Structure 1
Amino acid sequence: MGQRWLSEPDYSHGFVVPLFSIFLLWRRKELLTLTPTVSPSAVLTGCLLVVLAGLMRWVGIYQQFDLLGPASLLPALMGVCLVIGGWSWGKWCWPAVFFLLFMIPLPGFISGQLSHPLQRIGTILSTFSLQTLGIPAIARGNVIYLTEARIGVVEACSGLRMLNVFFAITIGASLILKRPLWERAVLVLSAPLIGVVTNVMRITITGIAHEFFSRELADHLFHDLAGLLMMPIAIGLLIVEAWLLKRLWLEEEVDAKVDLGFGDRKRLHASEAT
């Protein structure tokens, strides 16, 4: 996995994922019991998870399915936690173990199946955006033809890299935010939409630069700078969405002195009569 993190830009965020998992363990430290009660059911479940991890590793090696090898690390870690600390440790560490899923690189055929639709969506929406802004643009395949230039929406511009990172950020935010479950679910489900929107913004900005500035400036300044700014913009959109969701339903603050119970009203009348 480390070799793929170093060699493939789409998964360079893999080095950060274990650090965030450690942060999750620290944030949930109040759930950690130093003298846990290990039940037989927890030990049995942990052993089964370790056996499952071994089977996944075996199938991954002998069937040459690269995804199962790294993925076997997750049930193995969870199984060890259950064997050592019981269900209390399982409740403490499961978010951190689950988040490690985002450090596992996808197999090449899955990345290809995802990148091609993202390329097409980015091309169509970016062409529509440029046309809406009054810039002549025509999409042919995954190439956008402008007045005197053309933009090829290649696999590097499909948005898959940003979508991988943004999914990890969104899931991480949902694990640490103290919000209702439905709000966190909406944030997670909106991650693909925000990822596509930011990628379309990047391609559109590059098209505007090609139309009104030189090609060299568009390629070396706007394209690279837009790529760097897209993730902060995506995080900003996520913050705005969380802010709006928080204000959709306002929690009523009930005064503790106001009691609506029948028994309290009866006692109140009795005290007034006295």
Structure 2
Amino acid sequence: MASSSRNIILNPVFQGSILILLFIGAYFVPFSSLYNIWMTSDDYSYGILIPFISAYFLWEKRQTLKDVTIQSCWSVFPVLMLFVLLSIYGVLGSSGNISKPALPVLIVLFAIFCFGMDLFKRISLPLCFLVFMIPLPAVLDRTIGVYLKTISSHLGGMFLRGLGYSVHVSGNVIDLGVIQLQVVDACSGLRFLFPLMALGIVYGYFFERVVWKRVACFLVTIPIAILTNVLRIGITGILTYNFGSKMAEGFFHDFQGWAIFMVSFVFLFIFGRFLRFFPPKIEKTGQKELKNSGKIFENKGNISAFVVSVVLLFIVGGLTFNVSALPPVKIKGGIESFPSSFNQWKGQTQVVERKIIDASGAEESFSCDYINQKNHAVSLYMGYRSTAFLENVNFFHTPTVCLPSSGMKTISQSKRVINDVPLFETLPVTEMVMESMGSKLLVYFWFQTKDQATHDKNINRFHLALHAIKKDNTHDLFIRPITSIGEGESIEDARQRMDGFTREMMGTLIAFLKENQNIQK
């Protein structure tokens, strides 16, 4: 009986099944966030298919695993611990940009640590393919998206000129004279790029047997994605020029996207057929011939690594479960009930659309344009989150991204400290001087929990992680006042106005939260 139980425990299939279940439970928060993105984002809706494709790849490899040698690899343990700690920080600090990209890396590291390099070499494709289920971190998404928009706009303009149309391209705007086309984020080509790259791997796996041809099928998807997106922009330009702007909206726009993606696959297929003209080269597959003994798996000792992995996953799961159980700190009437008048400032509140609130990473928001007795104006925006631990949300977007993307130019950006601020005494803020259509704006923004404030979102995430680990309930606030710098007015004059507004507003905010906050049971 004891021998039978030991054989079960040493069985890699049993160990793998246990680790998969524990891994999903321990990282349920980022996994649930991933699922939410797959279900709600057009850019990453393909992601839900990736685990199933990986599972099929693994099933295809099953015959090569019959003689695999199972042996723990302790040399990878320090790297594994580093990523476990990073993932804990990402989960507890509500940083999806850390916790979600860490998932496929952790899967690979746990596999190597528990089962060794021999197994990993044989299943590296199914494991590494999981990277395609992860959305790009926001900073990479924006950077690559801007680059693709610029490239696609200029190439689209060239395509239309080649067809005889008079076109002027400025940034991501294509001017056809009678109508202008703006290449927005959804038309950057990023929506094609990653699913097509994944498709290139699938195509190469099933239809090519030579390594360099498989790599070529993967790499060629990048120019195919760009060129087919240019084709889509060109077709949209032709249709809107001849039939009006409705051809760039709604059903026609979405249908073009699906049609062009199918064209991309046709191009990939044609490229694959083209590769047939090149002679296949004999490549080493790295797979051993199956032994005739019929023995399945040779376990040379991995029980210690398996136990350590189980303990690590229980610790991660315990931390995230305990913190996720913290009740939210809600505001009676919501943050939108913040006073529109205080001291010398009188304001007019603005309604913020739900989709903007969701996109900003907040649960609730407040927007108001204040004017004082000297007719100085300050526009205030606040985003509120009721806990240090939120699932299925973005982190707060900052003006360093939002304002430049709306057409404003950043003249300067620096850290500034405001003294004599209620609760915090000294308040660190990020100061930005922006220019828009000849006018200058002074922008402050900062993040604060119930007892800590910072100018930097990464420091705020660290504060949130500390609150979460200590099970210390807290809200999370993003605050951004903006004022115009008038003609003949110096930046220092605008700073004095903003500093005064911040002190008075913070005094009102602290009293407002103290009176209206309550912990939900």
TM-score by length of 2: 0.44
Kept in 2: contact 1:49–1:78 (CA 8 A) = no
SS in 1 for 2:181: strand
Against the structure 1 CA distance between its residues 131 and 54, is the aligned structure 2 distance closer, same or farther, given a 3 Å change threshold? same
1:191 matched residue in structure 2: 221
User: Is 1:5 the counterpart of 2:38 in the alignment?
Assistant: yes
Kept in 1: contact 2:210–2:280 (CA 8 A) = no
Kept in 1: contact 2:228–2:260 (CA 8 A) = yes
Counterpart selection for 1:28 from 30, 55, 61: 61
User: Is 1:15 the counterpart of 2:48 in the alignment?
Assistant: yes
Kept in 1: contact 2:70–2:119 (CA 8 A) = no
Length, aligned pairs only = 249
TM-align CA RMSD: 2.5
User: Is 1:97 the counterpart of 2:97 in the alignment?
Assistant: no
1:173, CA displacement in angstroms? 2.6
More deviation in 84-93 or 167-176? 84-93
Distance 2:194 2:68 in 1: 36
SS in 2 for 1:10: coil
User: Is 1:51 the counterpart of 2:81 in the alignment?
Assistant: yes
Counterpart selection for 1:38 from 45, 59, 70: 70
Distance 2:145 2:132 in 1: 17
Distance 2:42 2:234 in 1: 22
The unaligned stretches of length 5 or more in structure 2 are: 1-33, 282-521
Query: Between Structure 1 and Structure 2, which shows a larger proportion of helix residues?
Result: 1
Distance 1:142 1:76 in 2: 38
One-letter amino acid of the structure 1 residue matched with residue 70 of structure 2:
V
Distance 1:79 1:70 in 2: 15
Counterpart selection for 2:275 from 235, 241, 245: 245
User: Is 1:69 the counterpart of 2:102 in the alignment?
Assistant: no
Greater CA radius of gyration, 1 or 2?
A: 2
Against the structure 1 CA distance between its residues 85 and 140, is the aligned structure 2 distance closer, same or farther, given a 3 Å change threshold? closer
Could you report, residue by residue, the CA deviation over 1:190-232 in whole angstroms, capped at 9, with x for unpaired residues?
2221011010011111111112223324534542221111111
Against the structure 1 CA distance between its residues 139 and 75, is the aligned structure 2 distance closer, same or farther, given a 3 Å change threshold? closer
One-letter amino acid of the structure 1 residue matched with residue 276 of structure 2:
K
Kept in 2: contact 1:36–1:89 (CA 8 A) = yes
Kept in 2: contact 1:5–1:12 (CA 8 A) = yes
2:434 matched residue in structure 1: none
Kept in 2: contact 1:102–1:168 (CA 8 A) = yes
More deviation in 238-247 or 167-176? 167-176
Could you report, residue by residue, the CA deviation over 1:164-186 in whole angstroms, capped at 9, with x for unpaired residues?
21112112333444332222222
Distance 2:266 2:94 in 1: 41
SS in 1 for 2:249: helix
SS in 1 for 2:165: coil
Distance 2:208 2:79 in 1: 30
SS in 1 for 2:96: coil
One-letter amino acid of the structure 2 residue matched with residue 54 of structure 1:
V
* Identity over aligned pairs, percent: 28
1:262 matched residue in structure 2: none
Kept in 1: contact 2:73–2:117 (CA 8 A) = no
User: Is 1:202 the counterpart of 2:232 in the alignment?
Assistant: yes
Counterpart selection for 2:111 from 74, 78, 81: 81
1:139 matched residue in structure 2: 169
Against the structure 1 CA distance between its residues 139 and 49, is the aligned structure 2 distance closer, same or farther, given a 3 Å change threshold? same
2:188 matched residue in structure 1: 158
More deviation in 53-62 or 88-97? 53-62
1:50, CA displacement in angstroms? 4.0
1:79, CA displacement in angstroms? 4.0
The unaligned stretches of length 5 or more in structure 1 are: 252-274
